[in-house]
Amino acid sequence: MARVESLIRGYYAIVETPEQAGPLLAHTRIVQLRNKRASAQQLLSAARKLRELTRKNGVAFCVNDRVDIALAAEADVVHLGQDDLPLEAARALAGHRLVIGVSTHSVAQAQAALAGGADYLGFGPVFPTASKDNPDPVQGLDALATIVRLADRIPVVAIGGITPNNAAAVARAGAAAGAAISSVLSAPDSVTAAKQIDEAGWDSSRRL
């Protein structure tokens, strides 16, 4: 398993199915499976297919929300939201078998995740997003830069409204990566959109 810093860099791909991931694998280091509507059985089946695909392509595999599915599918990473299994409980179950990321939407949440030993943070929404039914309040680039400084050497993934057009500004705020769903999957050319985000100049030494 590579270091977290090398996995969380550039375009952070999020997909609902293994089929969506296939064309994007050349432009990402990590793929997260996120499907809120799937049953546990459906999610495990998709996770196992995506695990095989990512392993063949040398890409890390992350499961959203579900520690049990991540372990059963031999994923590398699990990403937890604020309403998912608490970080302490997730670590007790997974031990060091999984890298654990946590979505945060405020300084207080980020501080709690860091204190709990999160391996990386998600932070946002940085911009308005249509990928969530009830999104948290938009945080903006200045708040993102604050979280990056707070996290210090822990990678921060910018979430919410990340597009090829704003990815460079997100990178300048110090984020290690930008997670994108609709701006890539709904783009006329999803491969080009993924490539543009991945090549947006991600370098945590460049901060606002």
39 is catalytic: no
Which strand (E) or helix (H) includes residue 57? helix 40-57
Decide if 183 contacts 165 (C-beta within 8 A): no
Q: Amino acid letter at 55? A: R
The one catalytic residue in 29, 66, 91, 103 is 103
Q: Active site residue: 9, 34, 51, 91, which one?
A: 34
Half-sphere exposure of residue 179: CA atoms within 13 angstroms, side-chain side:
28
Structure tokens at 135: 């999104």
From 3, 36, 55, 132, active-site residue = 132
Look up residue 133 and give its two tokens. 């039914």
Is 103 catalytic? The answer is yes
Based on the residue annotation, tell me whether 56 is a catalytic residue of this protein: no
Residue 33 three-state SS:
strand
Write b or e for each residue in 157-186: b if 16 or more Cβ atoms lie within 10 A of its Cβ, otherwise e: bbbbbbbbebbbbbbbbbbbbbbbbebbbe
Specify whether the CB–CB gap between 158 and 125 falls below 8 A: no
Q: Crossing angle, helix 107-115 and helix 140-151, to 10 degrees?
A: 20
The count of residues in the chain is 208
Rounded-to-integer distance, Cα 148 and Cα 78, Å: 21
Cα separations (Å) of 65 from 14, 102, 162?
13, 9, 21
Active site residues: 34, 103, 132
